[in-house]
Amino acid sequence: MASGTSRDVLGKGLRVLGRAIREQPRIFAVAVSGSVLFGLLVIASAYVVGAVVGDVVVPAVERGAVAGGALALAASALFGISVLRVVGIFGRRLGAGYMQYRLQAAYRRRVTRRYLDLPLAWHHRNSTGTLLSNANSDVEAAWYPIAPLPFAVGTLVMLVGAVASLFVTDWALALVGLAVFPALFALNVVYSRRMAPRQARAQRLRAEVSGIAHESFDGALVVKTMGRESQETARFAARAGDLRDALISVGRLRGVFDPMLETLPSLGTLAVLVVGAVRLQQGAITVTELVSVAFLFTVLAFPVRAIGWVLAELPRSVAGWERVSRVLDATGEMPYGDVTLDPARREPATLGFADVHFGYEPAEAHQPGTEVLGEVTFTVPAGKTVALVGPTGAGKSTIASLAVRLVDPDRGRVTLDGVDVRELTAASLAATVALVAQVPFVFDDTVRANITLDRAGIGDDEVWAALRLAEADGFVAALPDGLDTMVGERGTSLSGGQRQRLTLARALAGRPRLLVLDDATSAVDPRVEAAILAGLRAPGDGGASILVVAYRRATIALADEVIYVEQGRVVARGTHPELLATVPGYANLVTAYEQAEQEREQNRTYDEVTPVPSGLEMEVDR
Ligand SMILES: Nc1ncnc2c1ncn2[C@@H]1O[C@H](COP(=O)(O)OP(=O)(O)OP(=O)(O)O)[C@@H](O)[C@H]1O
Ligand SMILES: [Mg+2]
């Protein structure tokens, strides 16, 4: 690493500190005031100690008698100084702590808020481990130097005061100070420059280690069933080893510089004693002054280290801050419009796709052939059920994401009741459409909380109604605490089918006017699936239009229309019998699904998502 980058780090680091001070100016003022008070009192204490030695101890030794009055005065001065120093330290510590932790909390909130605002495309590019470490260790690292910052600022003031008082005392001693203090400062700067690349590397490796750890625990099922424990451990150990090496190199540098920083002030004291002895002989200074200055150098050694602490933390702070601001400055969130669909209208909504093109790469980077969807045009008329059928990877989930505006098309329009979804407010969109995703996500919370998600107007009656529609009321009622049962992280205590029905109930509880089911009932017994879909289609209470990604013939047969997609294009549309008769690809696919389904039936394992086809599941499915 060139020193240019290190100089950058110093500049950037100071800018990060500037930002911190701008955000918490009052607390910073309190902390710095405490620190300056402390610094000035340190100087004062040196002079009082000098006075005690020069005016009390030396005369006492010479005369053989102690001047009681002077001693009492000096003692009370030292006591007063100590009390005030305590006040200074208290103010500084309290202020610095408040400032550091407030900034941490504020930026944790900002980062996590930003995660939720950023589009799915951004999340696809960033691993969960990175997101965790951005919100956690990077935010912490960014504000580490805040803890010693007020101390360091107070110390700078103290150093200026010390040099000034040296000049008042004697120019020769002042020269010693002018040599030692800048040398200390320079040593600190060199230290932090050497530290910069090491700290940045360590911070990056911290994120990688937590990323790997997160992935292996998250994929514990795969790791275990595939017997990948030792490979995963090795992968983790390699990165953990890199982190260890990086941290050791940080420690080694610290080991070299810390003693130097410790020794330099002592050398200063030595120089003061040598120069001071000469000046004393010349009669230029008094014993009081010599002792004061020598003592001053001794007591300055510790506070000066605070400057080193700040400088040493700056590289880590800059590395952390850059990772945090990468999140805060990330763009691409989808701005919402200001159109509201009439909330009182409870009848089903009409979904329209008009010449929709979409690719997961940013639109300008589209190579020919990277488009996932092209010329997709279809309608789900109000109150109708449309089935989306197609081979794996055809773009069904992508169409589902577009319908609920998880992503926006590169070209073309997605409309709800004729309004482009980009023009709708977030609230109106959320109230109108609901997606039940292919992979159900359940929060580590109660059944009730998983269904209401704190949305207004969803009481227990609505929850039970939604559970009934999703055919989930049976198993929930059989749970030990009913709606209050905790479902475990990601719903691990539930079977795959139970989880699917819970997420379905969650979508239904909001009484959406358009329901998008992305293979949302695959882990459910076919009879139950048919019952659920039939229940959803039943008129009464407004009902909903349904776009359903379907595989089973029974499900497809329930649809008013089937849209058959292949490689991101709508190949055919019509009723199920029509497509069966006219589209060979469709007929093959549906027949293949059916055979697979029959085999599964024979094996009697309805819950393929997790290996928990327990008796409970069968019992409540009756
Ligand atoms: N996040 C993503 N980033 C890049 N490409 C993606 C992403 N998600 C899906 N794709 C690609 O888009 C295409 C369509 O995927 P999609 O998930 O829509 O298929 P699908 O029809 O739902 O398949 P399945 O039946 O297996 O669920 C696939 O080629 C897939 O590789
Ligand atoms: Mg899919």
Give the model confidence (pLDDT) of 283-296 as tens digits: 989 888 888 888 88
In angstroms, the Cα distances linking 521 to 166, 437, 513, 526, 605 are 82, 10, 19, 8, 14
Give the span between the Cα atoms of 420 and 403, in whole angstroms.
11
Query: Whose C-alpha lies nearest to ligand 1, atom 6?
Result: 360
Instruction: Please name the residue whose Cα sits nearest to atom 10 of ligand 1.
Output: 360
For residues 261 and 188, is the Cβ–Cβ distance under 8 A? yes
Strand ranges inside 170-241, DSSP E? none
Residue 125, ligand 1, Cβ within 6 A: no
Asked whether the predicted pLDDT for residue 5 surpasses 70, the reply is no
Which ligand 1 atom is nearest residue 120's CA? 1
CB burial class (10 A; 0-12, 13-18, 19+) of residue 358? buried
* More confident: 341 or 563: 563
For ligand 1, pick from 361, 398, 435, 438 the residue to mutate: most ligand atoms within 8 Å of CB.
398
- Residues contacting residue 486 through CB under 8 Å, at least 6 positions apart: 444, 445, 446, 493
Q: How many CB atoms lie within 10 A of CB 548?
A: 27
Residue 616 binned pLDDT confidence (cut-offs 50, 70, 90):
very low
Among the bound ligands, name the one nearest to the CA of residue 398. 1
Q: How far apart are CA 474 and CA 390, in angstroms?
A: 33
Return the H-helix or E-strand segment holding 356: strand 351-358
Euclidean distance between CA atoms 417 and 208, whole angstroms: 46
Lowest-confidence segment of 136-145, 258-267, 284-293, 375-384 by average pLDDT: 258-267
**Tokens linked to 78:** 């030292």
Q: What is the mean pLDDT of residues 363-392?
A: 83
> Residue 573: what pLDDT?
92
Residue whose Cα lies nearest atom 4 of ligand 1: it is 360
**β pairing state of 545-549 and 385-389:** parallel
Torsions phi, psi of 216, nearest 5?
Answer: -70, -35
**DSSP state, 92?**
H
Query: What is the average pLDDT across 106-115?
Result: 92
For ligand 1, say whether the CB of 383 is within 6 Å of any of its atoms: no
| pLDDT (average), residues 347-351 | 90
Q: What is the pLDDT of residue 542?
A: 64
pLDDT band at 566 (very low <50, low <70, confident <90, very high): very high
Sign, CA dihedral 237-238-240-245, equals positive
Q: Which residue out of 358, 396, 551 has the highest number of ligand 1 atoms within 8 Å of its CB and is therefore the one to mutate?
A: 396
Whether 372 is in the pocket of ligand 1, judged by its Cβ within 6 Å, is yes
Q: Which of 122, 124, 360, 517 to mutate to test the pocket of ligand 1 (most atoms within 8 A of CB)?
A: 360
How confident is the model over 153-187, as pLDDT tens digits?
A: 999 898 888 888 888 889 998 888 888 888 887 88
Residue 549 has what pLDDT? Answer: 92
